[in-house]
Amino acid sequence: MDAIVNNFVKMEPLNLEHTKELYDLTEANRSHLREWLPWLDHIKDCSDTKSFISTYEKEGAPPHFAVFYRDRMCGVIGFHHIDTQHKVGSIGYWLDYGHTGKGIVSTALKKLLKHGFREHNLHKIEIRCAEENFKSRAIPERLGFVYEATLRDCEWLYTKFVNHAVYSLLATEFTA
Ligand SMILES: CC(C)(COP(=O)(O)OP(=O)(O)OC[C@H]1O[C@@H](n2cnc3c(N)ncnc32)[C@H](O)[C@@H]1OP(=O)(O)O)[C@@H](O)C(=O)NCCC(=O)NCCS
């Protein structure tokens, strides 16, 4: 099963050619994503998706990828930021609802971890999930990340603050 998913999951560095497809995917998943991601209200039309992509297309920006399954765009994964001094990166991701339950993000994450540890020489990669976002928490847990702590009230999610469960993986713990 792993090999099958692996063969069908492709990643392309996010670029402006993805704008329309990414905006349409975001629009189709607005309520699904809004449950856990705080930025949906900032995406009002295609120009907002274009601005988002432009941020990550700049030289030196942390790498972001469009994720494809069987050649259809189905989500995004990337580094929110990379601290080059301390060699720490933090990853985020989301997936089209219709593509959940197949291992796509877990597969894409393995590829991104390899990229982060090998190409960016990172020592530590973090993933922060809202405490009650169990689908998201299952992803770092599945890949052997270590649960570090729960941080209190660190994200405003439209109507309430949520805690973050913090997971991390060290380069020495990563097996590609
Ligand atoms: C979080 C989110 C990406 C999880 O999606 P997902 O499909 O559960 O994650 P994966 O693609 O890794 O797939 C894992 C699922 O596929 C199944 N699966 C099937 N084949 C698999 C394989 N080869 N490898 C891993 N998992 C596999 C797993 O059992 C799991 O299903 P389950 O939850 O029913 O047990 C998705 O729910 C989402 O986008 N949510 C909204 C945005 C969000 O919360 N982003 C994260 C913010 S921190």
Asked if 76 and 67 touch (Cβ cutoff 8 Å), the reply is yes
Protein residue whose Cα sits closest to atom 24 of ligand 1: 103
Percent of the residues in the chain that have a pLDDT greater than 90, as a whole number: 93
- CA distance to 4, 51, 77, per residue, from 92 (Å): 24, 18, 6
Report CA(59)–ligand 1 centroid distance (Å): 31
Nearest CA, atom 30, ligand 1: 101
Distance 117 CA to ligand 1 centre (A): 22
pLDDT digits (tens, 9 = 90+) for 114-124: 999 999 999 99
Which CATH superfamily groups domain 2-173? Answer: Gcn5-related N-acetyltransferase (GNAT) (3.40.630.30)
- Judging by DSSP bridges, how do beta strands 124-130 and 88-95 pair with one another? parallel
Q: Which DSSP state fits 118?
A: I
Domain boundaries, the chain: 2-173
Residues 15-56 pLDDT 10s: 999 999 999 999 999 999 999 999 999 999 999 999 999 999
Ligand 1 atom nearest the C-alpha of 109 is: 12
Query: 103 pLDDT exceeds 50?
Result: yes
Neighbours of 81 (CB within 10 A): 13
Q: Can you read off the two tokens belonging to residue 168?
A: 């991390």
The distance in angstroms from the start CA to the end CA of the chain is 17
Average pLDDT of the residues of the chain: 96
Instruction: Determine the average pLDDT of the residues in 77-91.
Output: 97
